[in-house]
Amino acid sequence: MTLGTTLTSLEQAQILRRLGLAGEEDLGALYRFKHSLTQDAAYRSLPRRQRQQVHQRVAECYETLFAGRLDEHAAVLAYHYGEAGDQQKLLEYSQRAGDAALRVYATVEAVAHYEQAIGAALTGSQPAGKQLMYLYKQRGRALELASHHDEALAGYEQMERQAQALGFRDMELTAVISQALLRCTATVLFDAEAGRDLVVRALALAKELGDRASMARILWVRMNLHRLSGNQDQALKDGEASLAIARELDLREQAAYVLNDMTYILQGFIDQTRVVEVNAEATAYWRDAGNQPMLADSLAATVWSQYAMGNFNQALAASDEAHEISVRIGNVWGQSFSRMTTGLVYLETGELDRAWAAMNESLEKGEEAGFPVPPTMVSPQKALLLALLGDFVGAREVLRPLLVSGTQVFPESIAFTYVAWIETLLEEGLVAEAVTRLSGSDLGSLEESGVWGMVHGVGTMIRYHLATGDASLALDTANKHIATLLEMGLRAPLPDCLLEKAHALLALDRVEEARTSLNEALQSSRELGSRRVLWQIFAELAEITPDANEAARLRQEAAAVVAYLADHTPTPELRASFLALPDVRRVLG
């Protein structure tokens, strides 16, 4: 009996159903069992050896028919070769299936395929060290992209034990570095002491093996450890050393990793232009390499610098692209990070509802991904927004957990938290408590807390001096910091600083100079597209303008900005508290 006759008989017996011609060339007609139970019974009726032969023939048929598209069918090939008992082919196609899944960020599938490949590799009498190392690394990368950091760490620890058992020293070194990276970067697993121990072990192994490429990677890891531990100078030294080795050995990807993370270090120094240049080099590499997670990370890293420099459109464009990529590839960590500074931009432009949404998304996605930074960096932003809208109780509730020792991740977040707390107290009129809080801090002076303090704290410090009755010190502070901000190219805080300088001048009865400062603040706000203090600038100008018609026009301008802010408040309750603020009521009245 021919195959065709047999198939026809089975079709007539209602066991098979003909599906028509195959979509692939040379496959012939397609048939399917009408019931899965019948198929399972037929399959199980075959002796084990015969089943293996069927799987082998199916796999070989796939290899022939789809020779130019094996990656598309790698998972099917891995299954059939696995059932056929061909461990070498199972290894080959499991790895290909894992790589194919990871390329499209199907992390769950990728992890499963890599685990299958690792199992196949270890069944051999002498597994290939480089291939096994690759599989462990890829599985770890897939787990990290899925924000399963605990599982990734456990996998790297397993990788280290396996390397020691097999005597693969280079694989052992890679496993130790991978563990160190998880312990030394801003993940839920950050642990300075454990990270330091792993770095020491990795350095010793790299020196023993004479592995300079790994040395570049270890210095990069230690750079991040120093950065998160508050030692920015040493972090920069390690970064420069790692970058020098990477450039010497033409390790372009490693250089891009270093440049990417140097962005965060350089943000704490004066020259933000260099931050943008360093970040642009890293971004260009990730874009060319098609590395979507790192492209998103690099774009998000530059948002704060673009914001601080007053480039609001560029900041939002970088944030939006990073967010779009992160959503597309299912990277929850990236979704949080891409929105971590965006709220500050919208706060300046007056789109308070979008600021609120960006802040909440960063916090919620950060919690989902186990990303510990947003609570300490985004919560102060949220408090500033609440204080601006008159919800002082809400602002203090947001900040209170951050004042507990040990909750801060970045040193910069300490300064930012105190700025937000003092700003809230001053807005609420609790000057004595602000004095107590500031004198009880370990910052010495917010004015000396680096670029983050300069950007977020200058206006607050001027208001603090005015509130405590020292207008001369307020004016000196304003003049000193405005000059520094202009020198550094940090334009975002300028309208606020110029407004507070005018307040200091008015307190000293220097009205004409105050008018000049207010007009400079107005020009700066318009150039930036900033509305946060624009209504106050208009209102102050109206108060000191002798021309009644001009004063009326300025009050109308102030009222229009207030109306814009009120229309963009995130909730009806916050709209009401904003409109109830005394200064706002005066403008509208």
pLDDT value of residue 93: 86
pLDDT value of residue 310: 94
Own/partner pairs for 205-210, CB < 8 Å, 24+ apart?
A: 205/169, 205/172, 205/173, 205/176, 206/173, 208/169, 209/169, 209/170, 209/173
Q: Give Cα separations from 421 to 277, 438, 451, 464, 466 (angstroms).
A: 34, 9, 18, 12, 17
Q: Give Cα separations from 241 to 92, 145, 462, 472 (angstroms).
A: 38, 28, 40, 46
pLDDT value of residue 416: 80
The pTM of the whole model exceeds 0.95: no
H-run or E-run covering 33 = strand 29-33
pLDDT value of residue 444: 45
Residue 17's SS3 state is: strand
Apex 291 CA angle, 287 and 295, nearest 5:
60
- Picking from 406, 414, 420, the residue whose alpha carbon sits closest to that of residue 459 is 420
pLDDT value of residue 376: 86
Those residues of the chain that have pLDDT short of 50 are 22-28, 406, 442-444
- Picking from 280, 271, 331, 309, the residue whose alpha carbon sits closest to that of residue 492 is 309
Helix H, strand E, coil C: the string for 546-557 is CCHHHHHHHHHH
Q: Is residue 217 a contact partner of residue 254, using CB atoms and an 8 Å limit?
A: yes
CA 305 – CA 344 distance, rounded (Å): 12
CA 257 – CA 181 distance, rounded (Å): 12
CA 21 – CA 26 distance, rounded (Å): 10
Q: Give Cα separations from 442 to 356, 360, 411, 437, 507 (angstroms).
A: 30, 29, 12, 10, 30
CA 446 – CA 458 distance, rounded (Å): 8
pLDDT value of residue 27: 46
CA 353 – CA 541 distance, rounded (Å): 28
Token digits for 551? 């004063």
Q: Tell me the helix, strand and coil percentages in the chain, rounded to 5.
A: 75, 0, 20
Q: Is residue 447 a contact partner of residue 453, using CB atoms and an 8 Å limit?
A: yes
Beta-bridged to residue 32, according to DSSP, are 17
* β-strand pairing of 16-21 with 29-33: antiparallel
CA contacts within 13 A on the Cβ side of 327:
10
DSSP-derived secondary structure for 165-189: HHT-HHHHHHHHHHHHHHHHSSSTT
pLDDT value of residue 443: 46
Q: Is residue 287 a contact partner of residue 295, using CB atoms and an 8 Å limit?
A: yes
Q: What is the DSSP letter of 125?
A: S
Q: Which amino acid is at 382?
A: K
